[in-house]
Amino acid sequence: MNKERFIEEAKELNIILDKEELDKFETYKNLLKEYNKKFNLTSITDDENIYLKHFYDSLCLFKVPELINASTLLDIGTGAGFPGIPIAICKKNIKVTLVEANGKKCNFLNLVKEKLNLNNVEVINRRAEDYTKTHKNEYDIVTSRAVAHLSVLSELEIPSLKINGYFLPLKSNIDNEIIESSNKIEKLGGIIEEKIAFKLPIENSNRSIIKIKKIKETPEIYPREYSKIIKEIK
């Protein structure tokens, strides 16, 4: 995906990118390529796939109407900043919290925050379950992109949601995980409202966003230690 196609596809998501935002995406791309050699940030290193598989894919969260009015977003296991940083670039009135356990990746994220002047971004170097334990019921939106099994992600993220907030994981093939995780999501106070299925432009690969609404308080025992969470899906 070249920059011109990126601009056009963003319009289909009701995102009109101005020069400042496009310059930020270009700077982000260049930083990603430069620091990938030091920090092993991504296996995707060519310009067109960075725009397609990182930038555009992240912006597909705008397919969810509830994101438009959200004021806070938590991105767990953000890695090199996806989907959180692209959302922060395009939506300046949302506070985006990026949680990443890898210290070197956090160094990169702080560099991106500085170079792009993203005052609406906060970088947190902690394990997901440790952060969630101390930040419950705080966020309008929580998300992650292809990080772990849906059951694991649900326990790590739903506790941080406000009532009526949304957990929006981005996945490729998700149907089996939905079946395997539905009881867990209900225990955590969530309900699966919808699966938004779409294809990435150009390569036509399958993508899904699951809309999970928090309708009641999460029991205090969650999230548990990661070893206990992961044990349930083995």
- For 88-120, the pLDDT digits (tens) are 999 999 999 999 999 999 999 999 999 999 999
Q: Which long-range contacts (CB under 8 A, 24 or more apart) does 16-20 make?
A: 17/90
Confidence of residue 39 (pLDDT cuts 50, 70, 90): confident
Domains in the chain, number: 1
Domain containing residue 9: CATH number: 3.40.50.150
At 175 the pLDDT is 85
The values of phi and psi at residue 192, to 5°, are -80, 115
Helix pair angle (103-115, 19-39), 10° resolution: 150
Q: Give the pLDDT band (50/70/90) at residue 231.
A: confident
- Report yes or no: 107 and 39 within 8 Å, Cβ to Cβ: yes
Q: Which domain holds residue 44?
A: 3-231
| DSSP secondary structure letters along 115-166 | HTT-TTEEEE-S-HHHHHHTSTT-EEEEEEES-S-HHHHHHHHGGGEEEEEE
| Nearest alpha-carbon partner for 218 in 192, 188, 190 | 188
